[in-house]
Structure 1
Amino acid sequence: MDSVNLDVLKASVRWIESGRRVLLVTIVKTWGSSPRPEGAMLAICEDGSVAGSVSGGCIEDDLIDRVRRLGIEQTLPEAVTYGISADEAHRFGLPCGGTIELVLEPLTRASGIDALCRRVAAGELVARSLDMKSGVASFAPAHSTDGVAFDGHRLVTIHGPRYRMLVIGAGQLSNYLCQIALGLDYQVTVCDPREEYTDSWHVPGTTLVRTMPDDTVLDMKLDERCAVIALTHDPKLDDLALMEAIKTPAFYVGALGSRRNNAARRERLETYFDLGKDELSRLRGPVGIYIGSRTPPEIAVSILAEVTALKNGVTLPGEFQVGGAKAMLDIAADERTSCGVAGPR
């Protein structure tokens, strides 16, 4: 769960506990372009106060106006659709004629939102199943690959702790990468036992630890909602983190470095740490997608673009990745040279 949806649920709990009625709005389906993804939430208090969003603002305005005029009289969930016609799409700010389906659920103490927030705070990944006919919600363990499901009779939403990112190294590149990662809503931990780097580290919102990287990986108990990125260029630190991270379910494990350094790293991990081919196949490196990046901020964007693609289940062709793209550029340069054409300088 991202922090936006968690804030929505926490606001709902506060309003319910103060004796006010609340309408929880969840995106369950989109067609065409949509400003917010399936699973995004909006809570509307009976006084018109809101938390979260489901569009660029126009649908929120319509729902708020409805609550202010009619109150929250409904007792059962209902599904509504915006943007079927071109006029509606324009009116509600849905680009490219997009359509969005929402479930409007009136919340009470019996909805269990407070218990859901407690389970998320405890680190659980939870599936909340809402029966549209009765309005009764139930909870069950979920998997990281689960998503929003709605068949008109039952709505299942997935709730859990934020995605976590472990960054090895507190250098300049880490500074830029962590700032962007925070904006992407990761819970960021930076590990570096070197005092010369940690003494000058200052990125608000991150957690800095000075323990050895392999110990940190083990202590964090990484799961499918975690990413590990090694950025020190020091094999004594990067290799320690990678040898343990590769064995975890983390969805992304990668290390900075050239193609030559990456090949040497794989050889070290296989020879000295007894990692198998299958385990090493999970290691991404050189990290990032090829965008011609040169400066630390550009490299940070490149790396996080690749992390985001994996997180969202997007498989990038080899030529999009830094190693594959540079290999293709080398081939092109060799071909130009063999043809007597000077390459770029």
Structure 2
Amino acid sequence: MDNVDLAVLRSARDWMHQGHPVVLYTVIETWGSAPRPVGSLLALRSDGRVEGSVSGGCIEDDLLRSAEHAQSGCKIISYGVSQEESARFGLPCGGTVRLLCESLGDSRWVEDVVARCEQHERVIRQVDIATGQVSLVSARGGEKLRFDGTTLYAPYGPAWRLMLVGAGQLSRYVAELAGALGFEVFVCDPRPGYEHDWAAAGVRFIGGMPDDAVAQLGLDAHTAVVALTHDPVLDDLALLQALRSDALYVGALGSRRNNERRRTRLIELGLTEAEVKRLHGPIGLPIGSRTPPEIALSLMAEVVAIRNGAQQQSPGALRCA
């Protein structure tokens, strides 16, 4: 679940507190090419106000015109089951989207989910389609939305984590993008003067040295680590730990020449050549980035490409930052 969908739940909560009837739509299944992935949310207020998206816009328009929001309980809605519907709703030929339509009569589960996500927890919402009954259970990082025909199991909260070594200007831009992309962001920087205002940005600051912070976090295949200090002592400490782990992505800021020197140092410090080959450095996709916002964009584009299976984990021939 990314911050876009969490914003949908926040709006639904606020509207219900204001006394507005609200219908929540969840993409529960797709076939073929679909505009929005499974799990995407849309909240529709009784006066027609919308937050979120379940398509490129045409399905939203139909939901606004329909009387679904006047009904109670749960129901399944399908779009694009024919070529005519696919064309009408802007879906590729053969594409189908199924939505769960819920009339929200109780805001308590919405409040609970939002509160737990804001505390960096991950939770699964179980919805009994026949009764509309909702229950919440704790979740691990790897769960995905699933629907067995009678019950929807929808995970919420950060499924991915990003640890940044270094709390400078670039890290601010990276953290902002990563948060919007559904990453829980951690920052470690033992240098004086850098630990300030991170909590206000929704980022968790970890004190101490980077290698200790990496060990404390416990890296897995849903975690990315990026060293951004330009200080070999701090960066290499974190990389030594991260490159031995199952981390999704391990990268280091610096030029091609500096990163070749870094790889030599890491081998001298005991890493194998196979482990060092996992290092992405320079970081980012080749977009000609120069400024901190551009470097942050290229970095997160590369991380997301690997997360989504659109790029191999081993570094490619071209990098830009």
TM over 0.5: yes
**2:104 is aligned with 1:107:** yes
Q: Which of 280, 284, 309 is the matching residue for 1:285?
A: 280
**In the alignment, which of 114, 118, 121 is matched to residue 117 of structure 1?**
114
For residues 265 and 139 of structure 1, the distance between their equivalents in structure 2, rounded to whole angstroms, comes to: 46
Matched, 1:41 2:41: yes
Asked if structure 2 preserves the Cα contact closer than 8 Å seen for 1:259 and 1:286, the reply is yes
2:304 to 304, 308, 329: 308
Give, as a single letter, the amino acid of the residue that structure 2 aligns with 1:74: S
- The size of the alignment, in residue pairs, is 315
Compared CA separation, residues 302 and 56, structure 1 to 2 (3 A): same
Would the aligned equivalents of 1:253 and 1:282 in 2 still touch at CA under 8 Å?
Answer: no
Higher percent of residues as helix: 1
Q: Distance in 1 between matches of 2:26 and 2:217?
A: 32
CA contact (8 A) 1:90 1:97 kept: no
Q: CA RMSD in A?
A: 3.8
Q: Secondary structure, in 3 states, of the residue corresponding to 1:239?
A: helix
Contact 2:252-2:283 at 8 Å conserved across structures? no
* Deviation readout 1:4-53 (Å, 9 max, x if unpaired): 11122222233334444321101112233322111100112233232211
SS at match of 1:9: helix
Match of 1:62 in 2: 62
Gaps of 5+ in 1: 327-345
SS of corresponding position for 1:112: helix
Q: Scaled by the length of structure 1, what TM-score is found?
A: 0.73
- Alpha-carbon distance change, 303 to 71 in structure 1, aligned in 2, over 3 angstroms: closer
CA deviation digits over 1:119-175, x for unaligned, max 9?
323322222222222222333333323212123222111111374433334567657
Q: Which runs of 4+ in 1 moved over 6 A?
A: none
Measured after TM superposition, the shift of residue 188 of structure 1 is 4.5
Residue identity opposite 2:15 in structure 1: W
- 3-state DSSP of counterpart to 1:147: coil
Q: How many angstroms does 1:251 deviate by?
A: 2.7
Task: Give % identity.
Answer: 42
* Distance in 1 between residues matched to 2:306 and 2:219, nearest whole Å: 16
2: CA distance, partners of 1:143 / 1:40: 19
**Is 1:157 paired with 2:160?**
no
Residues 279-338 of structure 1: per-residue CA shift (max 9 Å, x gap): x368423354664746456655543332112222445286xx33x469xxxxxxxxxxxx
**Distance (Å, rounded) in 2 between the aligned partners of 1:107 and 1:174:** 39
Q: Which stretches in structure 2 are left out of the alignment for 5+ residues?
A: none
- Return closer, same or farther for 1:260/1:287 CA change in 2, 3 Å cut-off: closer
When residues 138 and 276 of structure 1 are mapped into structure 2, their CA distance, relative to the original with a 3 A threshold, is farther
| Shift, 1:208, TM fit | 9.5
Alignment partner, residue 211 of structure 2: 214
C-alpha change, 1:303 and 1:170, in structure 2 (3 Å) is: same
Assess, with a 3 A threshold, how the Cα gap between structure 1 residues 242 and 11 changes in structure 2: closer, same or farther. same
SS of residue matched to 1:25: strand
Aligned partner of 1:109: which letter? D
CA distance in 1, matches of 2:76, 2:280: 45
Distance 1:207 1:154 in 2: 34
Map 1:271-282; keep pairs closer than 5 Å: 271-272=268-269, 280=275
2:143 alignment partner in structure 1:
146
Equivalence map 1:3-18=2 (5 Å): 3-18=3-18
Tell me: CA distance 1:116–1:227, structure 2 relative to 1, closer, same or farther (3 Å): same
Q: Distance in 1 between matches of 2:266 and 2:132?
A: 53
Per the alignment, in what secondary structure is the counterpart of residue 78 of structure 2? strand
Tell me, in whole angstroms, the C-alpha distance in 2 between the residues paired with 1:266 and 1:150: 46
* 3-state SS of 2:34 partner: coil
The match for 2:25 is: 25
User: For the residues of structure 1 that align with 2:289 and 2:48, how far apart are their CA atoms?
Assistant: 48
Amino acid paired to 2:121: E
Question: Within 2, Cα distance between the matches of 1:33 and 1:84?
Answer: 13
**Highest RCO, 1 vs 2 (Cα 8 Å, sep ≥ 6):** 2
Out of 110, 126, 129, the residue aligned to residue 129 of structure 1 is 126
Alignment partner, residue 73 of structure 1: 71
- Taking a change above 3 Å as real, the CA distance of residues 179 and 136 of structure 1, as seen in their structure-2 partners, is closer
